Each structure stands twice: as C-alpha cells, then as structure tokens.
Structure 1
C-alpha cells in the first residue's frame, strides 16, 4: 500500500472548511454535520466510517456538489463549489468528480459500454472515442466481455463494476464512493482495490470511500470516523 502524501509535500485535492448541514424537521433544526474539517491530498485514499444515520451520505453529497452546506465551503482542485452556478457546477462534476453509489444507477436501455461512455459523451467527446475509452476501463474491471449487455442482463456485481467504470472513465481528480464493493465477490472486490491503488499512484486521483466494510476501510491510507457531525482519525494497528 502506498504511503499517504504528507501535507507539506502534496497539493490538497479536496478541502472542507467549517462544513455544516442543518435540516429542518418539523419545529426542530437537526444538525447532521457540525463545522466539519477535511483535507485529502492528490493520490490519497480516505475511508469514512460511522454508524447508520451519522451523516456519511450527506457528507458525500456535499463533497460532490449534489447538496449545499448550511455553512462552510468545499474546495476541489482549488475551486470552491460555492462559487459555481448550477451549469458550471454540472460541468465541474463531469470533468473533475467520479461517483460510485451503493446502487448502480445505470440506465436500463443502454448497454454496459454505453453506460460507461456516457460521461464522456455528455462532455462532448465523439461517440467512437468515448466508447474506446469506456471499453478500456471496462476491461480493467473485468467487464469487457459483457460490454454489449444491458443492466437487466447483468448480475448485481457486474452492474456495480460497470458503475465503477463509469466513474473512472473521465480520469477524475476525485472519486466519491458509497459502499463500492458491497455487491462484489471477494475476487472482484480485490481487483477493484488494485485498480484504486493504481489510479491513486499513477494519476494522482484522490478517493473518499464511505463504507461499513472493515477490510475496505483498512485498505485506504487513512480511516476517519464520522460521529457527532465531525471527523476524527482512527488509529492504525
């Protein structure tokens, strides 16, 4: 496992300052995140663990610009998401952020290849070039032979591998993962971890992984626990 970059030697890819999210539930305000601070460097892999309802998914949504904080800011590659309008934020997500959800969210009418190529086509890349790149990534997650199959013809684990390929096809600066290996067998999960290792090492892509899986968390460079709306670093054995 590669060592995590030091704060002194690496450019932060992700920074959160005073990140706060408050929801209104009836007459009460419920604070889910409370002045949270986070810094993740290029090439670093960070796991976030915590009990159900601790705010892990809320945090991922804020990091990806899918939700807005009640207070505080998120910076990715030096860009403040707070300063981006809706259209610019959409372009930024397409160019800089990859998402892997707990459920695959593939388009049922598209093949695995078309699903994986979609972010590049949305970006404006020609279909032939987008699909060539998508096929390359599908091969790296063991799905090249199933590229012409639609989601309904794939197993749950195969769908998740396609979703991972879709997240990685754009060479993002930051990949956000919500239980990415939850539906995968042990061998396939190991291959995904190896791919994460390679991308972190060769492309300086940063990963933030929300998980309940101790093995997946332990594989990352750092493990942070979300509790009481804030993050604390877990000690490593």
Structure 2
C-alpha cells in the first residue's frame, strides 16, 4: 500500500475527550419510510434512543424488523424520512456528504455482519486504512493497527490477505479496523456471528475495556442472547419502535 503524499504530522488528531455518562448518541422521532410501488412502507416509526459514553446497548428483534436500517441511519449511511440523529453533539443532518464522511471516520466505527475487507490488502493494511484515510502516516497507522490486531488475537496473521484467512479471522480484522480510530460510537451488526466461543469472549472483554477506559459507546444488533445479555441495556425493535426489556429476556420470539 503506497504512502499518501501529505504532511501526516499536521493531520494527526488527538482523540476526543470523553467522559462516562456523556450523551454520545441521541436520536428522536427517527422515521424511515420506503416507497414500494403505490405503497409507503414504514420501517422505523418515531423511534427515540439515547446512549451515553461508556454504555453498551444491544438491539434485538426478529428478522426484517429494521435493525440494519436503524444501524445505517445511526451511522449516517442513510438519511431518515423524519427525525434527527446526533453523535457527540453533532447533528448528522447538518453535514454534507464530504463532511459526513470525515465525521464518520473520526467518530464512528462499523462492524458489519460481513467483513467487507479489501481483498488486495493484508490484515494489517485493512486495519490501518481508516487512519491513513484520516491523514496519519503509514508507519503510525500500522503501529496502532498492530495493537488492535493483537487485542483481537490476529497479530500472527497480520501479513495475510483476506483470502488466506478463515471467516472468523476476517471478522476479527474487521473489528480491529472499526476500533482503530478510537471512535466515539461503535455500531456492530452480529459481530460475533462467525467467531468461536473463545474468540467471542475476547471480543466481549475488549468491548468492556473500551467502554470502561475509553468511554466508547456501543450499539450492538444481535440474535445471540448471550451477547445481548452481556450489554448494559437491551432494546427490542418491533413494529418500528424500540422498547426496553430485561437482559435475561434477550431471546428471539
């Protein structure tokens, strides 16, 4: 991977100062309506959610309930039909596409259900890429990326490309990539679905550490009752609305 032609020292940013309990994600009246022929299909209907720094929230619900649509709205990958999303105090609706892209790089980490790694890059290069896009030097970005790969148990596979990795290994690289920027908010879509029990436990421990020490907020969409029960709160998405439920009841109907 070639090194960007820029003054990398000048572009490096210090992590945002965050305090546990500080509102990190706020949305209100969040509505998403899709047009299908002559009909309007309401997927999310006036949804409200607040997540604080250092807090981990699980969202459960049946297939087709709109969980992925919700994540896309929270991450600024889609625009709501009505309502607002604020992250770290910033309204996503107020940002143009270029500014929104920079904001996502600075504040949001994504872990998709499918890894979306770049096939031509190594695990290390994939994990470092968000920092290089931000403007860090290749060397500085890869130092940080190696730290995260080590935390997810992938240090020994850092120089391997995705085609040489198992599904679980690719997912661990994707998790490292999402966390490498020290984001304010991490959005996870079935993050442990392809992981064995031991590796899943290490990912949960890493989430605990980041929530506690880095005051990072997590929103985790999952069908896994054990993963949901590990979070601080569990919300069920049903008929376009979110309702709280006990963690021990985090199972699919």
| TM-score normalised over the length of structure 2 | 0.90
Structure 2 unaligned spans of 5+? 1-19, 249-253
- Distance in 2 (alpha carbons) for counterparts of 1:52 and 1:158: 25
How many residues align? The count is 229
Residues 148-202 of structure 1, C-alpha deviation per residue, up to 9 Å, x if partnerless? 0000000000000000000000000000000000000000000000000000000
Q: What does residue 108 of structure 1 align with?
A: 119
Within the candidate set 165, 173, 181, 1:162 is matched to 173
Q: What does residue 135 of structure 2 align with?
A: 124
- Distance in 2 (alpha carbons) for counterparts of 1:198 and 1:185: 20
Q: What does residue 178 of structure 1 align with?
A: 189
Q: What does residue 231 of structure 2 align with?
A: 220
Q: 1:11 offset after TM fit, Å?
A: 1.6
Structure 1 unaligned spans of 5+? 1-8
Query: Is the counterpart of residue 199 in structure 1 residue 207 in structure 2?
Result: no
Query: Is the counterpart of residue 59 in structure 1 residue 70 in structure 2?
Result: yes
- Distance in 2 (alpha carbons) for counterparts of 1:127 and 1:158: 23
Q: What does residue 133 of structure 1 align with?
A: 144
Please tell me the root mean square deviation across aligned C-alpha atoms, in Å.
0.7
Q: What does residue 229 of structure 1 align with?
A: 240
Q: What does residue 4 of structure 2 align with?
A: none
Tell me which stretches of 4 or more aligned residues in structure 1 moved more than 3 Å: none
Q: 1:32 offset after TM fit, Å?
A: 0.2
Mapped contact 2:228–2:247 kept (Cα < 8 A) = no
- Distance in 2 (alpha carbons) for counterparts of 1:112 and 1:188: 17
| TM-score normalised over the length of structure 1 | 0.96
- Distance in 2 (alpha carbons) for counterparts of 1:185 and 1:167: 20
Q: What does residue 107 of structure 2 align with?
A: 96
- Matched residue SS, 2:21: coil
